[in-house]
A = this chain, B = another copy of it.
Amino acid sequence: MSREDTRFWNESIERMNRSKLEEIQGERLRELVKRLYESVPFYRRKLKGAGIDPSDVRGLPDLRKLPFTSKDELRENYPFGLLAVPKSELVEVHMTSGTTGIPTPNFLTLKDVETWGELIARSLYMGGLRKGDVFQITPSFSLFTGGFSFFYGARKIGSFIVPTGPGNSKRQIELMKELGTTSFASIVSYAVRLTEVAREMGIDPSRDLGVRRIFMGSEMSTPQLKRRLMEAWSADVFDAYGQTETYGGPSVGLDCHLHDGIHVWEDHFLVEIVDPKTGEPVGNEEKGELVVTTLTKDAMPLLRYRTRDITFIYDAVEHDCGRTHRRIGWIEGRTDDMIKYRGVNFWPSFIESIILKYDELSEHYQVELFSERGSEYMVIKIEAKNVLQEGERRRLSHLIEDELRRRFMFEAKVEITEPHVLPRFETGKAKRVIDNRERKI
């Protein structure tokens, strides 16, 4: 990694000493609670219900007294119920529709757009994006935040933006050659797809393309998959963190070039980890649900927002990269995506992390769940990279079945398939799990 990569977009903030940073956080939290109480009836009711007057909040230690905000509450108050500004001040909206069909929106004022750009610029610059870089943005520009998020940050940095959006993968690879793309942004499964398409075109990304940085967002990736992409492209690969409600990744943070944890921009977001069931704080470096309080959002600030993402916060504060902003671990899964199978909770990422240890196996897999007469069954199909002998496929199946049994204590049937038989995902998130059980548990 070159020295260049360790530089800062906003050094005085990124390296701010902790006492100063916490002073700012405390002050912003006080202002936030006051503003929400005065401007948002929804929050006034919640705060009153919790017996809290804004004057009770003096600083950071009071955070834990404050009520949570849930995704369901955002939906129940759709569209304008959580606005802290008049509708006439809005300049943009993004939203996810989610599984229920009721959207989770994020409304923005001009000040929010400005903050969004600043946060993304900080993250992308930390990942090495510069003016002069040719930056291909493959996530969709739409109500989905993906495309615009990378766009606003890259515009601040001054990079050359190639706004392709998703799909048309062959053309994406051609554009990389024609325009000399040096970095691209992508949702995780689409980066996998682009790798495959390049190879089908006879192009070795690491040798024939000039991409040296990949910014991944929106889907969970495993460290194993990340390593594979790094090798395939000879590129540094970064994990964006953020969600529609906090503008969109990498607004909340990104991993620096040392890749041990995602720096969270703590002057804008307060993070906590709680037990997803009880809402109580967990111990140091223990895993739980990430809770985010937005300190600077203008149109629609959120108090202790339950992200449903499972991770932990690193104890250590000063990092070797020089930044003082706290790090969170990689996101194992979202509680939404968690699957209960024979009484055991798991995320597809658990399975992926096992699969990708085997060089013979590709990144393409599918998990299918069945039920029959009260019993549950799981079949995991995994594509081999190349055609394998029957015996070899059986050997790999057994190894993976064993490890699943040993590590997660569940029984699954593993089938190693020929290459190119499972579905590919070009324009949306990958659908890894097909649940055919009669009663989802």
Contacts and interface: CB of A to CB of B under 8 A. Distances in A.
Interface of A: 78-79, 87-88, 90-94, 110, 131-132, 140-143, 147-148, 155, 158-165, 178-179
A67 B161 CA distance: 32
A148 B163 contact: yes
A129 to B, nearest CB: 13
Contact of A158 (B78, B110, B162, B163): B110
B131 A92 contact: no
28 contacts: A78-B178, A79-B178, A79-B179, A87-B160, A88-B131, A88-B160, A90-B160, A91-B155, A91-B158, A91-B159, A91-B160, A91-B161, A92-B160, A92-B161, A92-B163, A93-B160, A93-B161, A93-B162, A94-B163, A110-B158, A140-B165, A141-B141, A141-B142, A141-B165, A142-B163, A142-B164, A143-B162, A148-B163
Nearest to A78: B178
Given A79-B179, A93-B163, A143-B163, 13 more contacts: A87-B160, A90-B160, A91-B155, A91-B159, A92-B160, A93-B161, A93-B162, A94-B163, A110-B158, A141-B141, A141-B165, A143-B162, A143-B164
Q: Which 3 pairs show the lowest CB-CB distances between chains A and B?
A: A141-B141, A142-B165, A90-B160
B179 A93 contact: yes
Nearest to A159: B91
A425 to B, nearest CB: 17
Contacts of A161: 91-93
A400 to B, nearest CB: 39
Contacts of A141: 141-142, 147, 163, 165
Interface centre among A87, A143, A160, A178 (most CB of B within 10 A): A160
Contacts of A179: 79, 93
Nearest to A92: B161
Contacts of A164: 142-143
